[in-house]
Amino acid sequence: MTGFKVDIFSGFDNNMLTGALFIDLTKAFDMVDHYLLLDKLHSIGLDRSSLLWFNSYLHHCQQCELFNGSYSNFLSVDKGVPQGSSLGPLLFSIFINDLPTKCIYSNIQLYADDTVIYSSKSNIVDIQHSIQHDFNSVQLWLQSNKFLLNKSKSYFMLFQKRLRPVAAIEINLTYLDMSLISVAEKFKYLGLWLDSSLSFSAHMQSFVHKIYYRLKLLYLSINCFSLSVRKKIISHLIIPTLDYGDIIYQTPISLTSDH
């Protein structure tokens, strides 16, 4: 996230616009194909015994639901990596590790299944060309790796200085079926609300509302808890919200400044 923000502000300093396409995948962790994953594990150098171990780890698993002491029928798990496990995030990262090679004219940032393709240019035409070209390649990669693109949660945003208003609707990015990609004025990415000028005003409004609500609940229950318990509530419910992403939305320093 920090590198993404730095690239945008670097573009601001050089009087450039930055277009960003946020891609959402449907149940990404659950869609990982086991045989493709084993192929990719082999490609990074795992030996035969390791591949056999992972083959046993991934295959022949079953799952069911438990409700009120009753179990549902067992179903075989023929794809996906185990969520909540130590290996799950690592295996998913290995599976998508070659995705960035599909972006030639733009940048790409991956964080688990959150993906953003972005490009900083002086004009909208160049931004559209670079992102559209790479997004087409990314869509083909998603198809070949058996992922599903969630169009309803994928958005394009245009980041620009406040003094240089350009309508994001001037960019017409499309999916492979030629349907248009939705344009957003603000977008929640990795827990932070982003707006077109990276002022973080939308994020701060959400932040203040969340803190106020939690402090109000704590105040109303002030007589229900001891001081030590209230301190624990603050450390678990208030402080993490204050700390999360604070380095991201601090006032940026001009990257071209000589000071």
How are beta strands 75-77 and 107-111 bridged, if at all?
A: unpaired
Cα of 61 vs its chain's centroid, Å:
28
Dist. CA 169–CA 183, nearest whole Å: 7
pLDDT in tens, 28-44: 999 999 999 999 999 99
pLDDT in tens, 75-115: 878 899 988 888 999 999 999 999 999 999 999 999 888 99
CB 245 within 8 A of CB 192: yes
Share of the chain above pLDDT 90, in %: 46
Rounded average pLDDT over 236-253: 73
Is the predicted pLDDT of residue 165 greater than 70, yes or no?
A: no
**Distance set, CA 91 to CA 32, 87, 143, 247 (Å):** 9, 6, 19, 29
What predicted TM-score, i.e. pTM, was given to this entire model?
Answer: 0.82
Higher pLDDT, 206 or 117: 117
Is the predicted pLDDT of residue 245 greater than 70, yes or no?
A: yes
Strands (E), 93-238: 107-111, 114-121, 155-159, 182-183, 186-189, 192-195
Cα of 154 vs its chain's centroid, Å:
11
Dist. CA 155–CA 171, nearest whole Å: 12
Rounded average pLDDT over 160-165: 69
CB 173 within 8 A of CB 180: yes
Burial class, 28, CB count within 10 angstroms (exposed 0-12 / middle 13-18 / buried 19+)? buried
- So what's the pLDDT on residue 51? 95
pLDDT band at 166 (very low <50, low <70, confident <90, very high): low
Domain ranges, ordered by start, for the chain: 1-31+93-199, 34-78, 202-248
Please state which of the four CATH numbers 3.30.70, 1.20.1260, 3.40.225, 3.30.420 is assigned to the domain occupying 1-31+93-199.
3.30.70
Dist. CA 207–CA 186, nearest whole Å: 15
Could you give phi then psi for residue 77, rounded to 5 degrees? Answer: -100, 105
Rounded average pLDDT over 251-256: 46
